[in-house]
Amino acid sequence: MHQINEIYINGQFVTPHGEELFDLFNPATAQPIGQIRLADEQDAHAAIKAAKQAFPEFSRTPKATRVAHLKRMHAAVAGVEAELTQAIIEEYGAPVSRAVWMAKHAASVLLDAARVLQDYDFTRRIGIAEVIMQPLGVAGLITPWNSNAGFICGKLAAALAAGCTAVIKPSEMSALQTSVVTRALHQAGLPAGVFNIVTGRGETVGAVLSTHADIAKVSFTGSTAVGKHILRAGAETLKRITLELGGKSPVLVLDDTDLKKAIPMALQAGFMNSGQACIAGTRILVPAHRLAEVERLIIKEVANIRAGDPQDPNTSVGPMVSLKQWQRVQAYIQMGIEEGAHLLAGGPGLPDECTAGWFIKPTVFSRVTNQMTIAREEIFGPVLSVITYKDEAEALAIANDTPYGLQAYILSTDVKKAHTLASQIDAGRVLINTLAHEPLAPFGGFKQSGIGREYGTFGLEAFLEPKSILS
């Protein structure tokens, strides 16, 4: 059993003032695997104080010093890749192929930030003004359980590159990953207080970060509901706030596409990260006259998608992170049936091979209308909707008829047409015939998918404030 009794404040591993114990589970077995002692408000205050003390000196470090810090942090996290992969599988249940990618990503975002910083000019001339980009202050970084290590490293990398100091509140369900990453980052030997990691509840530690006067900036990834709450809470002190929230991403399968290639890619986009992905392509939009063909292909393809033991390299859909998430996804499957959608694959209950664990059958509903709840709300599990359109104008209208706008996918052999459609979709990213990631391009949402952008220069500038000096 894992016992985690430490948080990280002012360069040291310390026992939290908080006394609440929180159980950790292996979602693939639903068995407890350990306990963590949670930080409380007092711990959050101590972490903010340390970060505030470290800020004046750190904010004035030369760019080269911070580049060197980021490179050492990258090397340190890369050095624990295998351990981090196992932690991700054990406490989150990501299938091994995904977990390997997630652990690599946690390291690579640090190197990406070092490269961005290297090329970034903190001063520029505009007319008679010298414009200086100045770090905001202490940043509060709040991460979700679906990509905890990646967001700890990614948000921290951008904050430190800018010259901010940070207090991180990771998801408590991800305490094993946080522990591996914290130990590695400690090895990188940054000045004390530059980053602090306090694992505690959102309602306690998270609430302090979003209200404390000494926090200048909050960068949050998680649910839209909590994002709105943080925005309201931060308004009192006018915090700069970056929100990366939910999605209901459309996958536009155009009439010219080879469905034999497009359907497997659409399913991969939908079931990525076991469906627990803000960018998952959960609304598959297909030409009405090709529905029968699409349905046949989906039934055939889903039969080959394995949900089960995350350690098995053939598995592509792992369990939901918690019983609460499992119940939530089950409720949406039930709702789809009650709303009259046609159940094409999957359905309620555990997959046949699974007797325990929080597994969901990879589920696809067809003949869904865009007004059904399963097409409007983020389910955050492997449950997809097929919606038909009669022409491209209608496809575009359906794609944009959502409160979200994080990502969209277009599958077409007509690249010119795909680009024209991409320009008309309200989403922060549009992927044409690919599931690739570009770590230097901005990432974030339109509409209720968020505010602001992460990664690359845009992500760096989210931790900076411009100052014009005229003489």
Active site residues: 244, 278
Which part of the chain contacts ligand NAP (CB under 6 A), choosing from 62-70, 111-119, 223-231, 461-469?
Answer: 223-231
Number of residues interacting with ligand NAP: please give it, by CB under 6 A: 28
Q: What is the dihedral of CA 33, 34, 40, 44, to 10 degrees?
A: -80
Candidates 8, 332, 380, 455; binder of ligand NAP (CB under 6 A) is 380
Which part of the chain contacts ligand NAP (CB under 6 A), choosing from 66-74, 238-246, 298-306, 346-354?
Answer: 238-246
Which part of the chain contacts ligand NAP (CB under 6 A), choosing from 220-228, 257-265, 350-358, 408-416?
Answer: 220-228
Nearer residue to ligand NAP within complex by CB, 344 or 379: 379
Per the listing, tokens 């990260």 go with: 273
Candidates 117, 136, 181, 245; binder of ligand NAP (CB under 6 A) is 245
Paired sense of beta strands 281-287 and 249-253, if any:
parallel
Structure token digits, residue 361: 């059958």
* Residues linked to residue 219 through DSSP beta bridges, in sequence order: 141, 242
Candidates 95, 222, 250, 357; binder of ligand NAP (CB under 6 A) is 222
- Residue 344's CB: how many other CB atoms inside 10 A? 21
CA–CA separation, 323 vs 305, rounded Å? 22
Q: Shortest distance, CB of residue 241 to ligand NAP, whole angstroms? A: 11
In the region spanning residues 272 to 311, those forming contacts with ligand NAP, defined by CB under 6 A, are: 278
Residue 30 in contact with residue 357, Cβ under 8 Å?
yes
Structure token digits, residue 255: 């009439």
144 binds ligand NAP (CB under 6 A): yes
User: CA–CA distance from 143 to each of 66, 174, 198, 219, 245 (Å)?
Assistant: 23, 9, 11, 9, 11
221 binds ligand NAP (CB under 6 A): yes
Letter for the amino acid at 279?
I
Nearer residue to ligand NAP within complex by CB, 287 or 459: 459
Question: Residue 121: CB partners within 8 Å, gap ≥ 6?
Answer: none
Nearer residue to ligand NAP within complex by CB, 95 or 247: 247
Residue 409 in contact with residue 430, Cβ under 8 Å?
yes
CA–CA separation, 452 vs 456, rounded Å? 12
Binding pattern for the stretch 66-85 against ligand NAP, x by CB under 6 A and - elsewhere: --------------------
CA–CA separation, 188 vs 433, rounded Å? 39
Which part of the chain contacts ligand NAP (CB under 6 A), choosing from 166-174, 338-346, 393-401, 428-436?
Answer: 166-174
CA–CA separation, 13 vs 226, rounded Å? 29
How big is the chain, counted in residues? 471
207 binds ligand NAP (CB under 6 A): yes
Nearer residue to ligand NAP within complex by CB, 73 or 142: 142
206 binds ligand NAP (CB under 6 A): yes
149 binds ligand NAP (CB under 6 A): no
Q: Which residue's Cβ lies closest to ligand NAP?
A: 202
Q: Site residues (CB under 6 A) for ligand NAP?
A: 142-146, 169, 171-172, 201-203, 206-207, 210, 221-223, 226, 229-230, 244-246, 278, 325, 328, 378, 380
